[in-house]
Amino acid sequence: MTIHKPVLLHESIEGLNLKSGDVVVDATLGGGGHSKRILEEIGEEGALIVMDVDFQAIKDFKFQISSAAADQFPIKSHPEYSGQISNKIESLGNIFLANSNFTGLENILKEIGIEKVDAILADLGYSSIQLEDESYGMSFLKDSELDMRLNKDQDLSAKKIVNEYSHKDLERILKEYGEEKFSGNITNKIIEQRKEKKIEKTSELVELINQAIPEKFKHGKLHPATKTFQALRIEVNRELDNLEKFVPAAIKSLKPGGRLAIISFHSLEDRIVKNIFRVQARGCLCPPDFPKCVCGHEAEVKIVTRKPIVPGEEESLENPRSRSAKLRVCEKL
């Protein structure tokens, strides 16, 4: 059985500045490690809203919490909610389970009847369970169907992208989302192969990537397929577009003094988080040559982490997948 290790667990919980009775959102539930720790901090007087577009993650967490000893995760009966709230939200005492992408945060809170929250956490990485479960088709280390969808109801999959995207669009996503310098070579190999036979397995794509990348570039720290698989996962699950929508909505959903903590795993994600935090922490946004402010913009947050927090040596050794993680925290004014 795959055991998920939550990344930057101590640092993220500390960054959220939690206290007993807080209302908290874990916007990317994944393996549930952060949520379990949040429950310990907020106690039965608090409330936890967990969100994930992957229904299996919600299902697994519900089972874990329901099966746990009562003194480990005390669940307090909620006076207003019991059972199913909507087709996406279920209540388990003071825990609300929402099968939704985090872009639906404001709607989820509205449906539950919560206006503002004390803290929000988003871990943008995939859980070990998702990466190692062959049914997701996420990993270049597993021979499985090319898929990569967290939401199995959506039509777009990695297989569809690889076999149906135009040469131009395929090369663009490998270059932009994977920052792959051999995007042209890899795209040419894919287009050439799919003329003869549809590319359906992760192993088939890995083989094409290996053929496209010059030998001297295959022996670095990263597996040759890392960047291509990253690009496909981003495109399939609309990760960057969704992140740009989520961060401002999350800030809006915080109470004054509430905190937003985001853990990113590659430069594209971290850049989006950093830039939005900076804009929201600024007052006037007018060009510097304007004699006076005409935009009326006021700072919404203060940045708690001037530099991103990264895993220490011990965590990096114990959990190699954590090595690229960066944690940024802001506080609502």
14 shares its domain with 121 = yes
Give the predicted TM-score (pTM) of the model: 0.92
Distance CA 237, CA 257 (A): 32
- Consecutive 10-residue averages of pLDDT for the chain (333 residues): 78 98 97 95 94 94 80 59 75 93 96 96 89 87 93 95 98 97 98 97 97 91 93 97 98 98 97 97 86 86 97 91 94 98
Are 167 and 114 within one domain? no
Q: Would you state the pLDDT for residue 1?
A: 44
CATH number for the domain spanning 161: value is: 1.10.150.170
Of 187, 206, 237, the residue at which a domain comes to its end is 237
Domain assignment present for 175: yes
Q: Residues 25, 80: one domain?
A: yes
Assigned domain for 291 exists: yes
In the chain, how many domains are there?
Answer: 2
- Residue 319 is part of which domain span? 9-128+239-332
112 to 41, 79, 155: CA distances (angstroms): 22, 12, 29
- pLDDT given at position 77: 58
Q: Which residues contact 284 (CB under 8 A, 6 or more apart)?
A: 293, 295, 297
CATH of the domain at 300: 3.40.50.150
Residues 224, 322: one domain?
no
Task: Note the pLDDT of residue 330.
Answer: 98
Is residue 134 one of the residues assigned to a domain?
A: no
Query: How high is the pLDDT of residue 74?
Result: 60
Looking at 189, 211, 237, the residue that finishes a domain is: 237
Is residue 17 located within the same domain as residue 153?
Answer: no
